[in-house]
């Protein structure tokens, strides 16, 4: 019953012909209720999991190559394997602190199908022997909090969560927690700090994964909402079936939010790998092209932190490896499309301003650097820029995330993901993310910068004082 159109009760979501895994209940107006969930196969995945050993459940997820949907794209089944044996208690933290510019899919999943997220979390707790689960919802998402809280209350009452789940010896509590407005808390160690009642600042690495040391110093699995939403389907179906969707290295579907200057912006669930940016941006089933009378200038392919793409990148598949090889990332599945009316400097300034505002202040290169980047961009935009400002911008950027740019591909790493750890002088990728809009626009639209620069340098700058490869 695809409607090929907006679903009025789920503003932003557009139904389409393709296979659906996580959004398949969205067309139902009451998709968030326990009644609808149960009537459409809900909690069958949990029942199926409880009929197997925890190790079998883990294998199914590992075999499916379920890639994390939070941004880094790390395979969930592999991450689950990092728990040190016997160091109980283990915790599960489900990351619903979705705040990356351009991104929203977790919000829809929480609002429209909260039981699916809960079911996935329960299966994960069963598979790994986790003692408690925390669903951390972004503070600003009041409706998502309501839907999750109601779903948890209903699920507790029905015996799906809590003590002796479905009459088995599996018991686990799920606590909904919520944030209070801080982008950085989406970073998993910052999220853990926040859950401990602290300022949400990332922890020093290593350990690189909280599976070693996480919440209260205990081994902790942190997974994204969309990742969890995939798990029930994997139990009622199989890893084998999952791999019939998408491509070999990026199986399954993914949710993409396409915003900006397209005719039909929206959130689409699409098959990874076999769909290209061109399909998504221009396909009749999807965004239907750039708005009337305009043409594509550039697009952000994976959230505000991703280096930008241009028309020549349109035929790349929506898959981590080729996008990484082309110097960017799919990140959080957010595509922001800009047509020829967009001022490249202004667009870059807006994203950089975001990082300057959201820097937690822990690392000097980010705290100072993002602020300087914003100031320099602002004065260029205001017509107060000096000829040396472009080099100065790149120099500041280089101090946060050492070039050469782009840095988003590590061909020697055999991970279908953004390089980990990224090249950075900071302990988390926030500061380095601010560099992407700057290098992307200077490489491509240097003339737009130069056209805005009208002042002269008051102090002569010696040539060659700044060495940044572009």
Partner 1 sequence: MSRFSTDNELVAKEIISRYPLPKSALIPLLHLTQEQNGWVTDDAMLHIAELTGTTPAEVRGTGTFYEMFKFHPVGRYVINICSNLACQLLGAEDLLEHAERKLGVKVGGTTADGLFTLEDVECVAACTEAPALQVNYRYRLRVSVDDFDQLIDDIRSGSASDIPEHGTLSLVRQRIPADRGAGIVAPDDAREIPVWMARNEVAEQS
Please give the residues from 329 up to 348 whose contact with partner 1 meets the rule CB under 8 A.
334, 336, 338, 342, 346-347
227 three-class SS:
helix
Report if residue 86 touches partner 1, rule: CB under 8 A. Answer: yes
| Dist CA 310 CA 256 (whole Å) | 18
Characterize the bridge pairing of strands 334-339 and 296-300. antiparallel
Binding-site member from 36, 278, 350, 423 for partner 1 (CB under 8 A) = 350
Other CB atoms within 10 A of residue 100 CB: 24
Could you give the string, one character per residue 214-233, with x where binding to partner 1 holds by CB under 8 A and - elsewhere?
--xxx---------------
In the complex, minimum distance from the CB of residue 385 to partner 1, in angstroms, rounded to a whole number:
20
Please give the residues from 353 up to 372 whose contact with partner 1 meets the rule CB under 8 A.
354, 357-358, 360
Of 361 and 383, nearer to partner 1 (C-beta) is 361
Binding-site member from 21, 94, 172, 213 for partner 1 (CB under 8 A) = 172
Q: Which of 229, 266, 201, 241 is nearest to 96 (CA)?
A: 229
Q: Please tell me the total number of residues recorded for the chain in this structure.
A: 470
Please give the residues from 292 up to 321 whose contact with partner 1 meets the rule CB under 8 A.
300, 304
| Dist CA 92 CA 261 (whole Å) | 38
Could you give the string, one character per residue 254-293, with x where binding to partner 1 holds by CB under 8 A and - elsewhere?
---xxxxx---xxx--------------------------
Question: Do residues 161 and 174 touch, judged by C-beta distance below 8 A?
Answer: yes
Point out which span in 167-175, 202-210, 271-279, 423-431 binds partner 1 (CB under 8 A).
167-175
In the complex, minimum distance from the CB of residue 43 to partner 1, in angstroms, rounded to a whole number:
16
Point out which span in 123-131, 244-252, 371-379, 440-448 binds partner 1 (CB under 8 A).
123-131
Question: What is the separation of C-alpha 238 from the centre of its chain, rounded to a whole number of angstroms?
Answer: 25
H/E segment holding residue 346: helix 344-358
Report if residue 27 touches partner 1, rule: CB under 8 A. Answer: no
In the complex, minimum distance from the CB of residue 388 to partner 1, in angstroms, rounded to a whole number:
27
Copy the structure tokens of residue 202: 């990332």
In the complex, minimum distance from the CB of residue 25 to partner 1, in angstroms, rounded to a whole number:
20
Report if residue 162 touches partner 1, rule: CB under 8 A. Answer: yes
Point out which span in 152-160, 323-331, 392-400, 450-458 binds partner 1 (CB under 8 A).
152-160
Binding-site member from 4, 199, 205, 446 for partner 1 (CB under 8 A) = 199
In the complex, minimum distance from the CB of residue 325 to partner 1, in angstroms, rounded to a whole number:
25
Copy the structure tokens of residue 366: 């980010």
Please give the residues from 98 up to 117 whose contact with partner 1 meets the rule CB under 8 A.
98-104, 107
Q: What is the DSSP letter of 426?
A: S
Could you give the string, one character per residue 34-53, with x where binding to partner 1 holds by CB under 8 A and - elsewhere?
-------------------x
Q: Residue ranges of the alpha helices (H) in 30-178?
A: 34-39, 44-50, 54-63, 76-80, 106-112, 114-128, 142-157
Question: Do residues 417 and 73 touch, judged by C-beta distance below 8 A?
Answer: yes
Of 100 and 398, nearer to partner 1 (C-beta) is 100
Render 165-225 in DSSP notation, one character per residue. GGGSS--BEEEEEE--S-GGGGSHHHHHHHHTTS---PPPSSSSSTTTS-GGGS-EEEEEH
Of 303 and 406, nearer to partner 1 (C-beta) is 303
Of 67 and 334, nearer to partner 1 (C-beta) is 334
Dihedral (CA of 192, 196, 198, 204) sign = negative
24 three-class SS:
coil
Question: Do residues 400 and 370 touch, judged by C-beta distance below 8 A?
Answer: yes
Report if residue 156 touches partner 1, rule: CB under 8 A. Answer: yes
């Amino acid at each position: 019953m695809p409607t090929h159109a907006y679903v009025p009760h789920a503003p932003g979501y557009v139904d389409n012909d393709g296979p659906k895994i996580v959004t398949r209940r969205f067309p139902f107006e009451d998709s968030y209720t326990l009644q609808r969930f149960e009537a459409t196969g809900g909690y069958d995945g949990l029942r199926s999991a409880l009929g197997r050993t925890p190790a079998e459940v883990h294998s199914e997820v590992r075999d499916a190559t379920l890639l994390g949907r939070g941004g880094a794209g790390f395979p969930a089944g592999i991450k689950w394997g990092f728990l040190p044996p016997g160091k109980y208690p283990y915790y599960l933290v489900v990351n619903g602190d979705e705040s990356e510019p351009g991104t929203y899919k977790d919000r829809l999943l929480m609002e429209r199908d909260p039981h699916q997220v809960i079911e996935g979390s329960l299966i994960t707790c069963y598979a790994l022997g986790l003692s408690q689960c925390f669903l951390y919802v972004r503070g600003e998402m009041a409706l998502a909090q309501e839907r999750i809280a109601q779903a948890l209350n209903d699920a507790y009452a029905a015996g799906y969560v809590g003590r002796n789940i479905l009459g088995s010896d599996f018991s686990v509590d799920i606590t909904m927690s919520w944030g209070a407005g801080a982008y950085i808390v989406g970073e998993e160690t910052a999220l853990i700090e926040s859950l401990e009642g602290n300022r949400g600042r990332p922890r020093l690495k290593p350990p690189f994964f909280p599976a070693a040391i996480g919440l209260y110093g205990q081994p902790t699995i942190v997974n994204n909402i969309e990742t969890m939403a995939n798990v029930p389907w994997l139990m009622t179906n199989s890893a084998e079936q999952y791999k019939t969707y998408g491509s070999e290295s990026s199986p399954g579907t993914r949710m993409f939010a396409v915003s900006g200057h397209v005719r039909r912006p929206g959130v689409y669930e699409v098959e990874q790998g076999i769909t290209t940016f061109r399909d998504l941006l221009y396909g009749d089933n999807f965004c239907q092209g750039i708005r009337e009378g305009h043409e594509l200038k550039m697009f952000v392919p994976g959230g505000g932190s991703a280096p930008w793409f241009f028309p020549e990148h349109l035929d790349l598949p929506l898959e981590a490896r080729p996008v990484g090889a082309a110097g960017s990332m799919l990140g959080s599945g957010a595509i922001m499309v800009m047509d020829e009316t967009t001022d490249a400097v202004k667009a870059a300034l807006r994203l950089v301003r975001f990082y300057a505002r959201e820097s937690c202040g822990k690392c000097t290169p980010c705290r100072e650097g993002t602020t300087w980047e914003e100031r320099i961009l602002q004065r260029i935009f205001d017509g107060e820029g000096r000829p040396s400002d472009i080099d100065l911008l790149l120099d500041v950027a280089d101090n946060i995330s050492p070039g050469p740019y782009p840095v988003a591909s590590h061909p020697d790493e055999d991970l279908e993901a953004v390089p980990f750890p990224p090249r950075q002088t900071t302990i988390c990728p926030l500061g380095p993310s601010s560099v992407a809009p700057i290098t992307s626009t200077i490489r491509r639209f240097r003339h737009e910068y130069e056209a805005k620069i009208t002042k002269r340098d008051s102090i002569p700058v010696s040539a060659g004082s700044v060495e940044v490869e572009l």
